[in-house]
Structure 1
Amino acid sequence: MSTVKKDSDIVIISGGTATNSLVSMFQCVSSSLSFCMPISDNGGSTSEILRVLGGPAIGDIRSRITRLIPDEGFKRLLSHRLSEDPKEAKNEWTSIVEGDHQIWNGLDIQCKEMIRSFLIHVHMELLKKSRNPNTNFRFELASIGNLLLTGVRLFVGSLDSAIELLLRITRIDPNIQILPCLNTNYTYHISALLQNGDIITGQSQISHPSESITEADINDSTDYFQEADISISENPTIFPHHYNQLYSTHEDIPYQHPDLLISQLRFSKDVNSPLQSPINRIFYINQYGEEIHPRASSRTIKSLDNAEVIVYSIGSLMTSIIPILILKGMGYSIKNNSRAKKILLLNGNHDRETSGLTAYEFIQTIFNAALYSYGENLISTINYNDIITHLFYLETSEIKIDLEKIETLGIKCIKIPNDHNDAILDDIFLYDIIALQNNLQQII
């Protein structure tokens, strides 16, 4: 009797937007995929959910689930955003919750009512918070998918369980896992220590800071300090930087690091000006800005232990990949899985976080993050090729490729042709998907 060969277990360590473009390619390479996702995003509509309801950031997770959904009705629902106008957004949300919005068209009535029950649940939680004007939710630009996943998490009490339930509801292939790097009901933020000694707090502030601050943003932050009997600078657009040592004593308002108080609702991914100084390292903080060392979720560790291929995917190195790798247990698990191929898909362009970095420095950053995850328990020698075995890089790239230097580390370098689609701007360097898929399959 012939047996069917099982597809290789591939773990993809990534953030949201960039890797979303490769999801279909990964599905062609293997049917057994685990996407390990960060939960430190604090930009866009996620920032409002964190401000009002707390909990982990789920924007990247929702984005990946949406990309994997086979049904167009579900995909349309989870990707829908409310109007930019506050009044229109509130009316639209009411219409969705009441079940008469056109976005429900095409969904089975059973699925509609099940999903609507979770939206009603999060709606009730938002109403409870509205008793305090400082936690009144702003519906403009809100993602229905983010609110749905939040409603499911609040109902079942577990982020992992909420994701699994949503995967089953939306009929995503059961061989695909979406793994938050931390299984938690709490909010986790990151900070970046720059080489000049400055610290930037918050993922969005590091990678995509708000271009401008609206009156509503200022009012939200001003109300916080007035409620806590703290006087405010005459220039409220910069006041958080004057209060790094202040602690709120108001019993109804938990203290939050001042740099995180200004809303990141209207951030822009077009903001790409380099940081004033390169990033030295990324670390997690508590609400007082103190460094903490969380442990990676057990499901994430188990997926790495069983993986035959580990991929560090394209995207934001410092705010998508590194926040996963610095978690306790990650470096140990990756190193100890000696049978797995460990592939870095190098970006084609620099971004705000990595301006000027060479490919060798990308590798160094990942290696140092893995070492950091050991903490004080590093008892054996770790080589670069224990963490990365292969580097995939573009034939034409903005990033300098130090081939000889990298190959001396025991890392095999593989050149991939560029995508020459005329629709792609000349200054954006992307992988040819077919060539990338073929090379991944050859390695596997």
Structure 2
Amino acid sequence: MSTNNSNAQTPHKITVISGGTATNNLIPLFQSLTPSAEISFCMPVSDNGGSTSEILRVLGGPAIGDLRSRITRLITDEGFKKILSYRLSEDPIDAKQEWTLIVEGIHPIWSDLEVHSKEMVRSFLIHVHMELLKKSRNPLTNFKFEMASIGNLLLTGARLFVGSLDPAIELILRMTRVDPLFQVLPCLNTNYTYHISALLQNGEIITGQSQISHPSEVIPNHPMTDLTVSMDNLTTSHSSSNCSPRVITGSFYNSILLSENHEDVPYQHPDLLISQLKFSKDVNSPLASPISRIFYINQYGEEIHPNASTRTIKALSQSNVIWYSIGSLMTSIVPVLVLRGVGETIQANCKAKKILLLNGNQDRETTGLDASGFIRTIYNACCYSFGADSNPQLKLSEILTDLIYIEDSEIKVNLAEIQSVMGVKCTQIQKDQIGEETGINLYDPKDLLDKVQSIIEH
């Protein structure tokens, strides 16, 4: 006698557009969605802060800090988790000694990893170590090991070995035994470095993701310090209206880069030369003016329009849920949405629920922005992705169907405007009392799970 499975529920396919830390805390939510959901995390590769900034400065390539952070959260094996989450000492000498012990395989962090897994991981660390040694011949590309993330160096070693970011991520996911239901997708499959700039409403341009969201302190004795300080002596000009590149009229910068000792140092926009190794996410001072828009630039500061990776487009087209996650709206979500092909794909996917999970608190990037402003930012970014010469006829409901917000949200939610005028359904979630002491508005996990399930199923 055959069993009729016609009523069996098809597993959900969910694409989460997000950055790093905030969405990491939602991993248990995604793991609890039933039936077994296929989750694709589509992530930006424009971060240039912290440990990532040193890798970009010395080895180039795409930013992998957020990717590594997401992979680490998905790992259940404690040995692998320890390796990918480990950071070297803040002291330069101690950090260099630690790195040597790790590469040689005798550091304590190897203790919880099986021998065959250890040697597999170590081979990629040795590979990136050799690349760093080659760069050490030039003082300007001598790697600073303090606070370096071993996970970032591992992922970089894998990318350099296999020759591309996408397969390197898949290799690390399989090597660390992450559940195959989870995919981690860079929005750009590239071996090159991509940066973003923010055009403020007052006409100012801020270049670099870290400079936009978490500006770094100046580091004494950093290899680029003398060079960046000397930027003050250069005459620069730029037009904020058309985002044209800065024009360098001084001779110091070019003489440094064209000299015999610095031949392998590529040209970089002056604003990107300031080290972003040390920054604090606790610094939340508002920008001088609200952000008008986010765009990608080349190393000269010229606006460019990259195409989204094919796997990102495929995930968005096949999903029945597209999730704009909490976190940094301008530097985590928008850098994905403005890529060519993304807005068109989201619009064409008529079957999908398109959900914005609103932040509970304001941040540096969105000070003064209400929930309607968040929605318009997402809509405008999708329109931008069609290209400057096009005039996309997008309905807001084709980009966003649902808004989830927290009770007593610091971000104002105008229900009448959002539901009646914009046509977006709003769902309120209870506040988690754990966040009361810190002043951070957190979603109650059970109420969030129940209501997300209800939205997805209906």
TM over 0.5: yes
Displacement after TM superposition at 1:425 (Å): 2.8
Distance 1:324 1:84 in 2: 32
Q: Percent identity?
A: 64
- TM-score normalised by L of structure 1: 0.94
What secondary structure, in the 3-state scheme, does the structure 1 residue paired with 2:197 have? strand
Determine which of 399, 402, 410 is the counterpart of 2:423: 410
Q: In the TM superposition, what is the alpha-carbon distance from 1:378 to its structure 2 partner?
A: 3.9
Aligned to 1:213: 218
Offset at residue 409 of structure 1 (A): 1.2
Distance 1:239 1:124, change over 3 A: farther
Aligned letter for 2:42? Answer: C
User: CA offset at residue 245 of structure 1?
Assistant: 2.0
Q: Which one-letter code corresponds to 2:353 in the other structure?
A: K
5 Å-filtered alignment, 1:421-432, equals 421=434, 424-432=436-444
Runs (5+) with no aligned partner, structure 2: 238-245
Alignment of 1:290-439 (within 5 A): 290-376=302-388, 378=390, 380-407=392-419, 408-421=421-434, 424-439=436-451
- Paired letter, 1:185: N
Shift of 1:5: 3.1
**Aligned positions of 1:11-30 closer than 5 A:** 11-29=15-33, 30=36
Contact 1:202 1:260 in 2 (8 A): yes
Distance 2:418 2:183 in 1: 32
Aligned AA (2:444):
D
Q: 1:164-203 alignment to 2 at 5 Å? A: 164-203=170-209
2-side partners of 1:252 and 1:27: how far apart? 45
Q: Measure how far apart 1:2 and its partner are.
A: 4.6
Unaligned runs of 5+ in 1: 226-231
State the partner residue of 1:228.
none
Aligned to 2:95: 89
CA drift of 1:381 comes to: 2.0
Q: Secondary structure at the match of 1:215?
A: coil
Give the partner amino acid of 1:419.
Answer: D
CA contact (8 A) 1:192 1:200 kept: yes
Give TM-score, length-normalised by structure 2.
Answer: 0.91
CA offsets, 1:38-69, max 9 Å, x none? 00000000000000000000000000000000
* 2:119 match: secondary structure: helix
SS where residue 184 of structure 2 aligns?
Answer: strand
> In 2, distance between residues paired with 1:184 and 1:124?
22
Q: Is the 8 A contact 1:240 1:261 kept in 2?
A: no
Deviations 1:242-267 (A, max 9, x none): 58422736143211001000110001
Deviation at residue 6 of structure 1 after TM alignment: 3.2
8 Å CA contact 2:185, 2:311 repeated in 1? yes
Aligned to 1:6: 10
Distance (Å, rounded) in 2 between the aligned partners of 1:239 and 1:150: 35
The match for 2:144 among 138, 142, 155 is 138
Pair 383,240 (structure 1): closer, same or farther in 2 beyond 3 Å: farther
Asked if 1:31 corresponds to 2:44, the answer is: no
Distance 2:380 2:233 in 1: 34
**What SS does structure 1 have at the residue aligned with 2:433?**
coil
Relative distance call for 1:240 and 1:92 in structure 2 (3 A) is farther
Alignment of 1:229-248 (within 5 A): 233=230, 244-246=246-248, 248=254
CA–CA distance in 1 between the matches of 2:80 and 2:234?
A: 40
Equivalents in 2 of 1:259, 1:71: separation in Å?
A: 40
> How many residues are aligned here?
431
Question: Judging changes above 3 Å, is the alpha-carbon distance between structure 1 residues 379 and 258 closer, same or farther for their aligned structure 2 residues?
Answer: closer
Question: How far off its partner does 1:334 sit?
Answer: 0.3
How many angstroms does 1:270 deviate by? 1.0
Measured on the aligned residues, the alpha-carbon RMSD in Å equals 1.6
- Rate the CA distance shift 1:424–1:100 in 2: closer, same or farther, 3 A: farther
1:241 and 1:259 in contact (8 A); partners too: no
Inter-partner Cα distance in structure 2 for 1:101 and 1:35: 32
Cα deviation, residue 31, structure 1: 3.0
What is the Cα deviation at residue 214 of structure 1? Answer: 1.9
**Inter-CA distance 356–173: structure 2 relative to 1 (3 Å threshold):** same
User: 1:315 is paired with a residue of what secondary structure?
Assistant: coil
